[in-house]
Amino acid sequence: MTQTILERAPAKINLTLDVLSLREDGYHELRSVMQTVSLCDELAVELGAPDWRVECNDPAVPAGEDNLILRAARAYCARADIRTSGVRVRLEKRIPMQAGLGGGSADAAACLRALQRACGALSERALLEVAASVGSDVPFCLLGGTRLCTGRGEKMEALPPLAPCSVALCKPAFSVSTPALFRAIDAHPELTATGAADAERAVRAGKLPRGKKTNRFEALLTAEHDALVLALDCIESSGAALTSLSGTGSACFGLFAQESDAARCVQTLRDRGFWAALAHPV
Ligand code: C5P
């Protein structure tokens, strides 16, 4: 018998992202305040399908085993000892890819939530372990909200909900390789996220974080990409409280106390040729 479950996959932004050290397993110790936002993909997950496949409105999304959604589905079924002929997922993609907005991780996490809703076969702890085996950001995307993520990204501490605000998201046209950027940061200990500690303190106090330079990868990318400099300048001069790169980019964002200011910022970014979207914390 087939069963179809609908699930949303909200994008994430990194309000702060500090890279602390290189670990023996090749990953890096991180310290990142992460937040889910209203921009989302939508999934229809069909359990008991004739095969394992992703169908997406965007042809750039891999349909087969390269897709994190299928890795998550297979990992869930293996861990829960569910024998099924397959899982098919119809994916409506809205989160830009290779952006640092966690699109692939969000989709994988949404698939895990859908399977858990349908089967209820795993404890929360087992579900989080399956999520971590799929990718470093997947445990956060599984739970969402406002959290401090440490370790590889899988250790999480719930923080107070982000103060009410609007988010202007922007994606410059270039994309970056996450592993390459993590390798590059090891060679640049002088590049630090000088604003990260203050921003984390503000979030802990329930205040809207302010400032910039809260992401350690930002200086590495602004040195090479004028488009990112332009986008960050545009967001800051539109009156953002916090302006930052998200993840390893190339997307960046601004937090605004007033929605009208965020909406104006999005329009200005679009006028300059950027992909931009208005969102809210969720
Ligand atoms: O875990 P995930 O597959 O999302 O990570 C992608 C890549 O990002 C890893 O292969 C690694 O190069 C880098 N990474 C890292 N340290 C982390 C998370 C990711 O070095 N904590």
The whole-number average pLDDT for the span 124-146 is 98
pLDDT at 110: 98
Give the distance (Å) from ligand 1 centre to CA of residue 136: 6
pLDDT at 66: 83
Q: pLDDT tens digits for 67-111?
A: 999 999 999 999 999 999 999 999 999 999 999 999 999 999 999
Probe residue for ligand 1, chosen from 27, 29, 67, 71 as the CB with the greatest number of ligand atoms within 8 Å:
27
The whole-number average pLDDT for the span 164-182 is 96
Tokens 């996490």 sit at which residue?
109
pLDDT at 272: 98
**Catalytic residue status for 12:** yes
User: What are 204's two structure tokens?
Assistant: 């802990």
Give the distance (Å) from ligand 1 centre to CA of residue 160: 27
Give the distance (Å) from ligand 1 centre to CA of residue 47: 29
Probe residue for ligand 1, chosen from 22, 138, 182 as the CB with the greatest number of ligand atoms within 8 Å:
182
- Rounded CA separation 225/143 (Å): 33
Probe residue for ligand 1, chosen from 28, 30, 185, 215 as the CB with the greatest number of ligand atoms within 8 Å:
28
- Rounded CA separation 141/138 (Å): 5
pTM: 0.97
Pocket of ligand 1 (CB under 6 A): 27-28, 30, 135-137, 152-153, 178-179, 182
Which residues, at least 6 apart from 126, have a Cβ–Cβ distance to it below 8 Å?
Answer: 79
In the chain, beta strands by DSSP E: 3-14, 18-22, 28-47, 53-56, 87-92, 146-151, 155-158, 166-171, 242-245, 252-256, 275-279
Q: What is the bridge-based pairing of β-strands 155-158 and 252-256?
A: unpaired
Q: Is the pLDDT of residue 130 over 90?
A: yes
Catalytic residue among 41, 107, 137, 171: 137
Give the distance (Å) from ligand 1 centre to CA of residue 152: 8
**Catalytic residue status for 207:** no
Q: pLDDT band for 2, please (50, 70, 90 cuts).
A: confident
Ligand 1: atom nearest CA of 22 is: 20
pLDDT at 251: 98
